[in-house]
């Protein structure tokens, strides 16, 4: 059973705005910078609700809030940090500089880009130049085109080694083995793959999966589900001899009624993913599998991202 659902989050109890609340709101908006997260906790309201009320009252902040938050906030409060980054960006690694300044690495890189800072040549390449003398050189468009055409033709050629049964079966066997051992790492082109310290240092394949895990932790605290597990079970398609033979759902959910369901976070449905879901429905029809697609994820993000710490 595969369902596509629209997820709704628990809404905060909304109260009428009192005169005292409005006075506090005006005082906050009179400052150069408004911390919506702090106001959200203070008023027990969604940040979007606070912003909407401010617009109705004609309240505005001095600085453009479309700028990256770290840049806008620190320019106002701690301009010396910017000077520190300018002086040390080429001397210290991004991870060390991030720890010193209190930013995330991605936040630091955004700031550096806004300041026009660039790292010098990689020190490793300085010590050990490219063996073929290609350091700081790039392939021409013509060379890239030739390499691309050669690769495409190799895959199109039915007698090519890439299309031989032995080669393809070997790739399938290796991928299946790594998947079963929990060592398979499918690197999506735009995914932020890696461990998250705030989620017990667990490994996730994308920021979407990490955020959904944070959402599930939120549901556990709200006592809406009992627990969740990440990539807990592998489903085998024993009747299939080659190709997609296993499927590992992203999340295993235990409901308050002790029922089991699986959630799959899928931003882009490629052919292989479609095959997995079709075979899952065919060979495991009694398993409840909920698909969270791009539309559902975006709706969830709008509802709860401001309520959940460390949302990416």
251-271 pLDDT tens trace = 999 999 999 999 999 877 778
Question: Is the pLDDT score of 65 beyond 50?
Answer: no
CA distance 259 to 96: 46
Which residue would you say has higher pLDDT here, 127 or 110?
110
C-alpha span between 111 and 113 (Å, rounded): 5
Angle between helical axes of 79-88 and 94-101 (0-180°, round to 10): 160
Report d(CA 106, CA 104) in Å as an integer. 5
Residues facing 260 on adjacent strands: 254
Right CATH for 194-304 from 3.40.1350, 3.30.70, 2.30.30, 3.30.160? 3.40.1350
Nearest to 215 by CA among 292, 279, 161: 292
Phi-psi region of 133 (alpha: psi -120 to 50; beta: other; left: phi over 0): left
pTM exceeds cut of 0.75:
no
> Residue 247 is encoded by which pair of tokens?
């499927």
State yes or no: pLDDT of 181 exceeds 70. Answer: no
pLDDT greater than 60 at residue 63: no
Per-residue model confidence as pLDDT tens digits over 182-224: 555 555 544 578 889 999 999 888 889 999 999 999 999 989 9
Tokens, residue 168: 């393809």
Residue appearing with tokens 């993913």: 273
Give pLDDT tens digits for 214-248.
999 999 998 999 999 998 898 988 888 777 888 88
Does the pLDDT at position 134 exceed 70? no
Question: Under DSSP, is residue 102 helix (H, G, I), strand (E, B) or coil?
Answer: coil
How much is the pLDDT for 13?
44
User: What pLDDT score does 161 carry?
Assistant: 81
In this prediction, residue 67 carries a pLDDT of: 45
Number of alpha helices (DSSP H) and beta strands (DSSP E) in the chain: 13, 9
Model confidence over 68-77: pLDDT tens digits? 455 555 555 5
Taking only the tens place, the pLDDT of each residue in 16-38 is 788 878 888 888 887 656 777 77
Give the pLDDT confidence score for residue 79 in this predicted structure: 58
β partners of residue 196: 202
* Contact of 228 with 209, CB cutoff 8 Å: no
Q: Is the predicted pLDDT of residue 171 greater than 80, yes or no? A: no
Confidence of residue 143 (pLDDT cuts 50, 70, 90): confident
């Amino acid at each position: 059973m595969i369902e596509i659902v629209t997820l709704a989050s628990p809404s905060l109890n909304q109260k009428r705005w009192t005169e005292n609340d409005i006075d506090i709101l005006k005082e906050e908006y009179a400052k150069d910078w408004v911390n919506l997260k702090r106001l959200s906790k203070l008023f027990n309201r969604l940040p979007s609700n606070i912003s909407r009320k401010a617009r109705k009252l004609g309240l505005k902040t001095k600085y453009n809030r479309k700028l990256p938050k770290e840049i806008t906030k620190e320019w106002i409060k701690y301009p010396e940090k910017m000077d520190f980054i300018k002086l040390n960006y080429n001397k210290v690694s991004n991870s060390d500089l991030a720890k010193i300044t209190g930013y995330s690495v991605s936040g630091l890189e955004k700031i550096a880009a806004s300041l026009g800072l660039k790292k010098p040549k990689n020190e490793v390449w300085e010590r050990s130049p490219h063996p073929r003398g290609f350091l700081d050189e790039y392939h021409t468009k013509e060379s890239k085109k030739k390499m691309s055409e050669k690769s495409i033709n190799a895959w199109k050629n039915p007698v090519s080694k890439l299309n031989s049964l032995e080669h393809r079966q070997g790739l399938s066997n290796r991928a299946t083995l790594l998947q079963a051992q929990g060592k398979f790492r499918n690197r999506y082109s735009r995914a932020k793959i890696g461990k998250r310290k705030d989620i017990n240092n667990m490994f996730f394949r994308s920021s979407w999966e990490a955020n959904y895990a944070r959402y599930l932790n939120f549901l556990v605290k709200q006592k809406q589900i009992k627990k969740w597990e990440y990539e807990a079970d592998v489903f085998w398609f024993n009747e299939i001899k080659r190709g997609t033979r296993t499927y590992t759902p992203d999340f295993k959910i235990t409901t308050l009624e002790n029922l089991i369901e699986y959630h799959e976070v899928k931003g882009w449905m490629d052919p292989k993913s479609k095959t997995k879901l079709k075979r899952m429905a065919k060979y495991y029809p009694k398993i409840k599998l909920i698909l969270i697609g791009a539309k559902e994820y975006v709706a969830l993000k709008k509802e709860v991202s401001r309520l959940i710490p460390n949302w990416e």
